[in-house]
Structure 1
């Protein structure tokens, strides 16, 4: 915990996603009282994207953060807003391309378990 997933458009191959993750982790720690060493981010490059009736000229990024239960809605909202602002810093506007940047914070299901080897 936290489990962080970033789904991103192939139009954004030039973004340094590892740098984004390294910038994101301290934001999660400060906002949601997580431990830095517990933050895990996976970035997935999507292949097929459609926005409305268009197949081109749109780039989508969605960040999903799953936390152990216990944070109130105000904390989740602050974290979501901070993530979108961080995305805006790391994914600059591009000519001819409309950016769709989004984030969500949710609770992990109570069934969540993990194993970590030494």
Structure 2
């Protein structure tokens, strides 16, 4: 916990500083949602195709999913979501000819969530 997944358009790959986003995102999750730094895990998934409305060209997207253990208030989750959007503005460079659609969601992990660490 937290489990963080970032889906992003492949068209953004060259101008998207993913390591810096992950670093600052982990800091935000610790500062805002009281997560433990070693528990922060982020994976990036590049998506090839984005269709927005009837358009198949001219759009790119980044969506950040953050799943936390239960117990955070709606206010805390909203504050974290706003922080994520600010980080995306900082670390995703505008690409000429593309409209960027950025979004984020912070949700609670289901009660069935389990984890282990091992070698």
Relative to the length of structure 2, the TM-score reads 0.96
Count of residue pairs the alignment pairs up: 118
Q: Corresponding residue for 2:2?
A: 2
2:108 maps to 1:115: no
For residues 39-75 of structure 1, give each alpha carbon's deviation from its aligned partner in whole angstroms, at most 9, with x where no partner exists. Answer: 0000000112100011111010000000000000000
Q: What's the secondary structure of 1:21's corresponding residue?
A: helix
Q: Corresponding residue for 2:45?
A: 44
Counterpart mapping for 1:1-118 below 5 A: 1-14=1-14, 15-117=16-118
- How far, CA to CA, are the matches of 2:85 and 2:62 in structure 1? 10
Shift of 1:96: 1.0
Q: What's the secondary structure of 1:78's corresponding residue?
A: helix
Does the aligned pair in 1 maintain the 2:68–2:108 contact within 8 Å?
A: yes
Shift of 1:13: 1.0
Relative to the length of structure 1, the TM-score reads 0.97
